Structure 1
Amino acid sequence: MAITLSRAQFSYRQAFIQRLLGRPQRAAELCLAALKTEDYSVAHMRAHKMLSEFEFPGEGYFQVLTRIHEHLKPATYLEIGVDKGESFEVVAPTTLALGIDPDPHVKKALGPNQRVFKETSDDFFAKRDVTAELGGKPLDLAFIDGMHQMEFALRDFINVEKYCTPDSTVLIHDVYPIDATSAARERVSWFWSGDIWRLILILKKYRPDLAVNVVAARPTGLAIVQNLDPNSRVLEERQREIIDESLAQDISVLDGRKDEMLNRFPNDWPSIAKLIDSHGRS
């Protein structure tokens, strides 16, 4: 009995074969062909995944995040978007770690210095004494991986920075889009980074005092933001204007200049460690 393949399935299978044959450029073209269909199937998801592997060879963002924890040994850590809690498992037991997620599904028991708050990040920062939750200490390391829409990530960054010092580090996930479909504001595919890429352009324009670099780690990049200023109110005071201006931009603004506009940084651990040390822990 013959099996009828969808256009996405056929293109992905051809891409898989071309990859095995050592023809990555042709494989990438076929992945893009699969993604031009509206067949949001497993083949569609796998095409996105293969494209991200071509775009970002080397370690994935989770491995980079693990290395950063081991390198910085933060006394305090805050994570927005806990989901299943995998990233909490790489946090040192001595680190005071706070997680925020309105619907967490943490699989493993939390350590004695770990807490997860079942609420939105907006509610957490509005209703809680964050300094007290941090044991009176500043925030050493934060990871923003919540809602995949720019205005949420912008608010999260504004709120997180208030509890940082110039030596702190803020990480932001999903900042380097693979294609327009996965970078849509509304989710239309399994593989979805949303429009968090806009936040990088915002920080570069409105906060040139920050050190912003996007590590080329799959699947969608990991931003490292340093030189933080807890007293800055530029983003907060101009928030509405900034959001309106950013939403007026189409993803095509990145065409031909994506690496430059998003401050792409090589996914090479010695280089990343040197970058981190050059902007912090004075």
Structure 2
Amino acid sequence: MKYIVCNSETAVLNRMYDEFEKNLEDGAVICLPENIINTQFTNRMIDDNKIGKYRYKHVIMLGQREFADIDIEEKFGLYRYARYELFKKLDVETKNIYYPQTLNSNDCEEDLNTYKEVLSDNPIDVAVVFLGSDGGILDYRFADEVNKNLHIVEFSDEEKSQLQNAGMEIDGNKLISIGYENLMAARNLFVVVLGSDKRKYIEELFENEDSDKKTILSILNDHKNLFIFTDKEASYKSEEEVNRLIKQRQKRLEIKEREEKLQNEEKKKDR
């Protein structure tokens, strides 16, 4: 795990881009959230593509979420928003863009399985997620069997009205979302944490490691190539202090693993 503290939101997005570009090559699989679009991060993607520094023609883009009960080619949802605001500007080939889709959320097992196969066939190189003001990631704060893998999420009528007012062509109040295990399968996972209202969740991540009720964030904390990017308002300690905590945590885990290994060897001898 790497914990990186920056002075501002713009600095966070620039620093994250510096790590992101290390993974750009033909065939790379990228999984971005819709709220990264039209930020400094995607502005740099577009600018670097224009000057020829990076090409996205053969990069694969996987969507994290899409509204259910719509034809994503016909109706303006998250896929078309990303396509018009980002993918077209990067010259990503349409055949390399994948988003979940179901026309009937009440009978969607086959559709979900289709996208699960897409996720399985295209291991993610970089996935980016944002920590919400409620401590949630991908619409949830706590982990359960439902949000482990690709699933259907319901949202309120109020949220539906807000989305419709923002231009989303939706009739229902459901969307399809990837799960935390899909994020854990990514080769690199970037978590963005912005604002003082998130600080308590970062503190909780390091102070309450042994809590029985697992949050999505605490599960993602076990990812082997996790990067947490925070601004100063969200970071409850300095980058140096947190990295010391991370090293201490790693040592405890190594000791625990050695002890468990010794116990298993002793059990084998007793047999």
- TM bracket, shorter-chain basis: 0.3 to 0.5
- TM norm structure 2: 0.39
